[in-house]
Amino acid sequence: MTAPATQDAVATARRIVVKVGSSSISGDRSGQLGPLVDALAGAHARGAEVVLVSSGAIATGMPYLRLQERPTDLAVQQAAAAVGQSLLVRRYQERLDRFGVTAAQVLLTASDIDDPTHRRNAERALETLLSLRILPVVNENDTVATHEIRFGDNDRLAALVARLLRADLLVLLSDVDALYTRPPGEPGAERIPFVAAGDPLADVLVTETNTGVGTGGAATKLAAARMAADSGIAVLLTATDRVDAALAGERIGTWFEAGVSSAPQEQPAS
C-alpha cells in the first residue's frame, strides 16, 4: 500500500483504518454512531477496504451494570466490557444492514501485535476479512487487558493495526476537530492544519483527558499519529461529527504527512 501524499488523495485511498473513541459514540453523543456508519459505508461502497477501531465496550455495558460513572475497579471494568462488547457490535451491524455490509468483531490487545505468532494470525484474519469485503470492528480485548484497559483509548492499537495492514490512511476521530497548539479552550490556542513528516511539534502543549466513559486525549492521539506517520502512513485527526467530510477528502482537521519508514515491512502472512 502507498500512503496518500496529500489530503486530496483521501477519497482514493484503498485501505483506511478509522478509530473512534467511547466519548464520541456514547451518552449525549450516541447519535453520532449513525453518521459514522454512513461515512464508513460510503468509503466501502467506493471500493475502499475499511477497518474500524472502536472503543465503547465499557461505556456500552455500564448502564446494564447500573453504573453512572466509568468503574475504577479492574474486574468491574472487565465485566462491563464483557456485557457491552456484543451490544456495541450489534449496534454497528444494525446500521450497516441497510448498506448490505457485514461487520466482524476482532478483539486484540497491543501485546497480540507484539507477539510474532499472534501478529501473523491477526494479520491473516484481517486480510481475509477485507478480501471478503467484510468490515472488521476492532477493539481492545478489555476482558483480559490490564494496563491497556486504563490508558490509550485504543489510539495506539489503531496505529498498530494500520501499520500491520500497511494502510494508506489512519483517521483518528475525537471530540475535538483538530490538533491545537494548546488545549482549544485556552487563550491563544491555534489550530494546526498540517504536520510535516518529522516535525517535533516542540511548541505544542497537549494533555490527557478522562471523559468519565473513556480515557485518552490529545497526547495519546499525537503519539498514535506519530507512530503511523513514521511508518509511512498518512494520518488525519478530526472530530467524529466531521467524519463524512474527512473521508471525502475535505481539508479539515490536522493532516500528518506520511514519513519514509525506516523499519522493514513484514511480509504478509501466508
Binding residues for ATP: 19, 174-175
Question: What are the E-state strand segments in the chain?
Answer: 15-20, 49-54, 103-108, 135-140, 169-174, 179-180, 191-192, 194-195, 208-210, 215-217, 234-239, 254-256
Question: CA 159, 2, 225 angle in degrees (round to 5)?
Answer: 25
Query: How far is residue 81's CA from residue 60's CA, in Å, rounded to a whole number?
Result: 8
What is the gyration radius of the CA atoms in the chain, in angstroms? 17
End-to-end CA distance of the chain: 17
Query: How far is residue 196's CA from residue 212's CA, in Å, rounded to a whole number?
Result: 33
Angle between helices 155-164 and 218-230 (to 10 degrees): 10
Could you list the residues known to form a binding site, using ranges. 19, 55, 142, 154, 174-175
Could you list the residues known to form a binding site for substrate, using ranges. 55, 142, 154
Cβ contact 236:228 at 8 Å: no
Question: What are the E-state strand segments in 55-131?
Answer: 103-108
Q: Which residues pair with 180 in a beta bridge?
A: 191
Query: How far is residue 178's CA from residue 163's CA, in Å, rounded to a whole number?
Result: 22
